[in-house]
A = this chain, B = another copy of it.
Amino acid sequence: MYNLAELSSADKMKEECGVFGIFSKSEKKDLSLLTYFGLYALQHRGQESAGIAVCDEVDVAVHKGMGLVSEAFKSEDLQKLTGNISIGHVRYSTTGSSLITNAQPLVARYLGGPIALAHNGNLVNTDKLRSELEQKGTVFLTTIDSEVIINLIAQQVDKATLEDGVIECMSKIEGAYALVIMTRDKLIGVRDPHGIRPLCLGQMSDGSYVLSSETCGLDVVGAKLVRDVAPGEVVVINKDGYKVISTVSPRRASCVFEYIYFARPDSTIDGINVHLARQRMGEVLAKEYPVEADIVVPVPDSGISAAMGFSHATGIPYENGLMKNRYVGRTFIQPKQELREFAVKLKLNPIREVVEGKRVVLIDDSIVRGTTSGKIVNLLREAGAKEVHMYITSPPIAHPCFYGIDTSIRKELIASDHTVEEIRQYIQADSLCYLSNEGLLKAVGLEENQLCLACFNNSYPVKASESVGVDKYILEARREKSE
């Protein structure tokens, strides 16, 4: 079996996680089911494992499973999870570390009682922190950052409050982190000082507070957005309500790929609706690279919003030229080499009647390795397209990400050592146009110093240590297989 979804999205960056949490005002709320709904809405942020932990005044209970939320949980699993606080997590992971042991939320017990934590993002000084803790005699049972974070919090148990410990911990950890943390009486949301990964706070009609990576997680449980958690903020929720503690934020550096590809179009992140931002990317792209063409065709689903914007801006009709098979799941039987050619057709099929004889503007969000882009261009040509102009709603990705995006592919970034013209030849498009840095900023509506654009411009808001990246996966791959 192999992962067809991966096959045809090998040219995609991969988000590693989504987090969710609820602190219930009303006793009888079915919190684990609401968290299940929330994770369902955040499923696009991670499909390898899912977990939900709940807490009452006594203790924490947790259930985790591999696969989609719908696969990881059965009805009886949720029924066993009762309490008045709940957190959840969906995870994308490379094969090596895709283990139930490493699934989240991580549940632990320490002097302060039971604690559970879910983490979206990636620390860059984990190895150093882990070493320091090991020097003090700390034992680690997993290979995930979350265990380091919980240990750092546990070491601050003499602090007056849990949030004091969390803040002290924040002074030590570096990198990207959106955290939801739960104890017997508190739900805490934390966003790293650069605000690399998103996190927002909502409220349900009964007053219950909700934390979610994206607003689509609020919508699904009927919660209204209260505010985004700002970079460096700690939101502490208990039975009396919520309070926000601000810590130092050197500069905001939100991941721009949330707008380009990761987030759901119906989410609004830090005040900017994702669908509209993508539409503007299409509009700006249209202005940057005028083209004579008959139709604008998106690569579904990620190119749809931008293709509409492009169409609006140019008047070139928006058309469905590529049909996506909605039933392509995570597993698929591996075709022998000779049949491998069919694999892309299983996911995407051109509509000849739409594209035949046409000059096509094809809109996609990004190019990672370039192989899938080449196949799609070829599909359109075979279906009779006269010209195929590939328009990309981001600048070339030339540098790896250390903040929670799949880094195992960094050596395979085609733009790291090829010019745009070389890439165009590789994918055999008639033209290839990347959105400019400035165009991207304009479309998103933020300043350069508010975003992390490192994968485009090599300017990393947080320095990563040398050992970050591939090496840790080797360790994990070796360590434990799916139990």
Contact = CB atoms under 8 A, between A and B. Distances in A.
Interface of A: 1, 30, 33-34, 36-37, 40-41, 43-44, 47, 58-65, 68-70, 73-75, 77-78, 80-81, 100, 103, 106-111, 114, 134-143, 147, 150-151, 154-155, 157, 216, 219-222, 264-266, 268, 273, 275-276, 301, 304-305, 308, 312, 317-320, 323, 325-329, 331-336, 338-339, 341-342, 345-346, 349-354, 475, 478-481, 483
Given A40-B346, A110-B139, A137-B157, 13 more contacts: A1-B75, A37-B339, A59-B479, A75-B334, A77-B481, A107-B480, A108-B140, A111-B135, A137-B138, A222-B345, A273-B352, A273-B354, A276-B353
A222 to B, nearest CB: 7
A69 B326 CA distance: 13
Contact of A354 (B109, B275, B339): B275
Contact of A68 (B65, B265, B329, B480): B329
Contacts of A37: 335, 339, 342, 346
Given A318-B318, A478-B61, A480-B62, A265 B70 contact: no
A58 B264 contact: no
Contacts of A43: 325, 327
B326 A44 contact: yes
A207 B72 CA distance: 45
9 contacts: A36-B333, A37-B346, A44-B327, A61-B479, A75-B334, A137-B151, A268-B353, A301-B326, A483-B483
Contacts of A301: 326
A70 to B, nearest CB: 5
Contact of A138 (B75, B110, B351): B110
Contact of A325 (B41, B329, B349): B41
A214 B467 CA distance: 45
A134 to B, nearest CB: 4
A141 B142 contact: yes
Nearest to A75: B333
Nearest to A66: B483
> Chain A's interface: helix, strand, loop or mixed, by majority?
mixed
A467 to B, nearest CB: 15
A483 B65 contact: yes
Nearest to A155: B137
Contacts of A483: 62-65, 100, 103, 483
Nearest to A342: B37
B320 A308 contact: yes
A132 to B, nearest CB: 10
Given A141-B108, A265-B320, A475-B59, A30 B353 contact: no
Contacts of A151: 137, 139
A58 B478 contact: yes
B61 A329 contact: no
B30 A336 contact: yes
Nearest to A329: B70
Contacts of A106: 141
A85 to B, nearest CB: 14
A63 to B, nearest CB: 5
Contact of A323 (B58, B77, B216): B216
A53 to B, nearest CB: 9
10 closest residue pairs by CB, A with B: A266-B323, A273-B353, A43-B327, A111-B134, A266-B351, A137-B155, A110-B139, A59-B478, A64-B483, A139-B154
Contacts of A353: 268, 273, 275-276
Contacts of A70: 327, 329, 331-333
B304 A308 contact: no
Contacts of A41: 325, 346, 349
A317 B311 CA distance: 10
A479 B56 CA distance: 11
Nearest to A4: B70
Contacts of A40: 325, 327-328, 346
